[in-house]
Structure 1
């Protein structure tokens, strides 16, 4: 979706000025939560370490950076933007934070 050619859709009055940034944040939040869910479900017993959280965070931020590089060089109908990378990073951090809080709450409930 981050490389799709949307044409004049972005100029539609249905979208507000920061809609693109909100979309980047939401995509990366979802990516990180689902990726962490996959990691947790593959382990017996189910667990998620801080090391894994850091690796997922770094992976997602690098992935966002690669998307921006591709938009700059290959997908010429899109533009690379530092604020897009910031939105990707924000969504990544929000996703990791929500996973860690959820894991902590589940662990606290079991005690």
Structure 2
């Protein structure tokens, strides 16, 4: 059991580290974040965070990446896991990190970022010749 858990952690180390980065950034009090006066910047940040998360998940599941191909189930799992994590982040902002506010728009930005990652992964994989 411990060996299997260790193998999973090693296999998905990049995704897990990125998930931790997302949790830290989304849990920080607003006073700890830089103030940027660009309308919608927080939605763009959510989009980018979850696009990268989904790309990492798909890449780490895709054992065929050096053949420059990806199975649809890997794309679906990456999308679903990133979307559920986005929902969990919003719930933690609502109930745990009370200095932060949960927003439906953030959740939709998370889902959209994951969806775009699914769509662009095959092209990125081919362009980078299987290194992602």
TM-score computed with the length of structure 1 as normaliser: 0.79
Unmatched 5+ residue regions in structure 1?
Answer: 107-111
Mapped to 2, the partners of 1:56 and 1:74 lie a distance apart of 25
Q: 1:4 aligns with which of 19, 28, 46?
A: 28
User: How many equivalent pairs are there?
Assistant: 104
Give, in angstroms, the shift of residue 7 of structure 1: 1.3
Could you tell me how far apart the structure 2 residues matched to 1:8 and 1:56 are?
A: 30
Q: Please identify the structure whose Cα radius of gyration is greater.
A: 1
What is the alpha-carbon distance in structure 2 between the residues aligned to residue 44 and residue 85 of structure 1? 29
Structure 2: tracts of 5 or more residues without a match? 1-24
- Are 1:59 and 2:95 an aligned pair? no
Q: CA RMSD in A?
A: 2.5
